[in-house]
Every structure is written in C-alpha cells, then in structure tokens.
Structure 1
C-alpha cells in the first residue's frame, strides 16, 4: 500500500475517473492517487478477484472507489465500464488508459504474426476505441482529460520487446493526432512514458539479479522505478494545474535516455 497520507491536495474534488488495468501496479497506484486527491474512481481489470482485492484495499483507506471486470478488447465490457461510472457517480471527467499486453519476449523477428496482431489490437486499437467511446461522456461534462500510459520503450525501443515498443511509439502519434479534434471539445489528452518500473508486468526484465543489475547500470538514478512514482504525473496532467498542457508526454524513467 502506498504511503499517500502526506498528499493533502484535493485538486480533483468532484471529478469522476476511470482507470483501466488498475487492480495492480502502475494502474492501481494511479487510481489510488486520483482518489486521494478527491476523485471518485472506477477501477477495472480482466480478473474479478484482483478487482475485488484492489477495491477492498482502496476502501480501507477511506477512498471513494468502485470496481468492475473489463477486458478492453470487448466492446460490451467497455460500454459497461462507462455506464457504471455514470450510473454511480453521475458522469465522467477523466479517462486513464493503462491496459496493455506484451506476450512476446526476445528477438523482434521471432515475433509471430498472431502476436503482432494481438499486441496492436490491445495496445493501440483498443486504446483508440476507449478514447473514442469516452467522448460523449466527457462532452456531457463540458470537457475533461485523457491520459494514455505509454512507455519509454516507445522512444528508445528495447531489443527484447520490439513489437511492444513499436506499439507504444504508435501511442505518441495517437496523442498528437487527437489534439486538434479534442481541443474543439474542451478535452485535453496527454501521455506518460514510464521507464523500467518494478511491477509484475516487467518481471521478465528484473526477475534475476543479474538482469536487474544490468538494467540499473544504464539508468542514471541507478535503480528501478516504483509504480507509485508514476501516479503524481497523472494527477498533475488531469488537474487544472495542467490546464494549458495537451498533446504532451511526461517521461518517468530515472534519467534513462529517451529523447533530447
């Protein structure tokens, strides 16, 4: 459980947020931070027992959260997610798209066609559909904010997760492409690009000490990131403190090379 008691800021009072893939890791910490800042949050995951456990932990902190099973690749699940937020809390102000997969680990040229299709369907196409389907709900609130969770690998692809890296590069283009249309609707869209964060999702990159040490060696801060270290950037981006920020990406990588 993150120690967020020191955060007294309530920038998100009265806001309603959806965070996908939020029963564990980065998504969970984002949901937790948004709720601590006053938002009512709907969390989701493909596995009911993980959703239930996450909701229980968050409610133990006195946070206003609800959870539901949602596979972002299923239209009916996405519809249910948006309907739940509006039925429970009266609307939607914030969407954080965090769901992603990486079933391939190794040479990019060993990635099967079926795997390419699956990665791009979930990481790119379903992110697009979530954003598109959120628009009517955000517009009813006269605007809102979207944050897409990409990856530092989208800037500097990692050799062993080539297809995943390319899908995350596509998300940077998506954010930029959405800006003109969303701005007309008073909706801001931004992204975060986490580096190597110590979660179950990145376990293959740090599960042995030798790999972890070699990974740390190329990070100027000489350590892996923690999931909660991604949450503050999202809370900023969806708040009024970022009212003139759209189309941008915040890198959270401990100084790992990403871009000039």
Structure 2
C-alpha cells in the first residue's frame, strides 16, 4: 500500500503530507531502496518492523530525519508498515526549533529531540494503529500538541520568507536584504534551525525540482542551474548519478507512485 493523506488544516503550512508505506507480505523485502535529499524533514513512525539503515542496523521505531545533503539507502523486510510526516521548512522551524546542527544529515531516535515521554506517547498511540486515517488523526493530535508546547521563535518568519525567495530562484543576497539581515546573520539562522546554509538549501531546491521534472517527464530539469554542467555536478554530488543515466533507468514502484504519478506538485523522494 502506498498512500498520501493531508494533515489537519491547522498544520497545512507545517506538514506537506502524511505518507504511508506498507509491505506486510514482504513483496519487496531485501530490496535496496534509495532516497533523495529533499527540502523537507521527515518524522517516521513504524507500525510494523522497522527497516534497516545503510549500516545494517534497524532504524528507531520513531525516527527523525533532518535535512539531508546526500542520497540514503534502506532495506525493508516483511511486516513493513510505517507512516512518514513530511515536514516543510516552516514546519521544521516551528515544531523543532534550534535543532538544525543536531539533525542535518543524521537519522535520530525522536526521543533525542523531544525526550522519552513525548516520543513514547507518539509511539504508543500511532504504533498500535493500523488504519491510515486513524493514524493521520493521531499524528495531527501529537503535532498540534507539540506546536502548543513549543515556543514560537521570532526568526521563524525571516527563515520562511528567505526560503520562499530561494525556492523561487532568488539569490542569497536578495533573501538577506528582504528579511533585513546580513548574509552572515541569515547563514547563522539557517544553520541553527535547518542545519545548512541558504546557499546549500537553494541547491537542494534546484536538485529537487530537477529530479521531480525527470521523474514526472514535465517541466525543465535544468531550470535554476547556470548550465547543464552545473546540473550534472549537483546530481553527481548529491545523488551519485547523472540526470541522463537516471532518466534511462527503470523507475522503482515507490518512485513511480510518489514521483511520476503525483506529478509536478509531488515530492521527488524515492529514486
């Protein structure tokens, strides 16, 4: 089962969507699954047996993946069933402020960020459910409770505005001027809350848009890059493959469902 459900309206700007991946019979067990770095953070809750990470160890039952700068790989088992909360940049800053340096390029047990009690509450409620819409409602409840108990930081609006400019193709200088901070101050804000600087996040946005275009056969994969060589270097550095080679590869079921089938508005996460 591959399924996408929306969050509660109150969370619309913080959560892109809830993704559900189920393979209880183990049809894809043992297969290597690769994921792309995306301009989103991911909170995952396992209702089944957790997947194995790149080093072979099982991922935490409730895990947090901050912004990533490179591709990752996973292996599933039989009894795989988990839900993913796809957190937007404003969502990451609002729900998990001041965690950028401790979450970027790292897969964490959620308890390391929220404490054991909060993580256990999420695990005990969601982990015992099976029906996706009921799980989505429980995720809504936990996230809204998290939002209510987490202090709203003053620089959240500045980060959201700067990110919007970068996502739209604007440069770091424009983002800094618009948010009325220096480039150095903006860089520090991004590192503190996102774990990467504005320039790196802009590159991640370009890569994501390019991969999405290739997966969905729409748009212009080179858009935002200075030239094709710039695009190829970004792909090789972050994905380990060139755009041409990837375009010739057969799509995986997950890439087909969450990439091509969801069209230009989807998220290019699975490779």
TM-score (norm 1): 0.27
TM-score (norm 2): 0.27
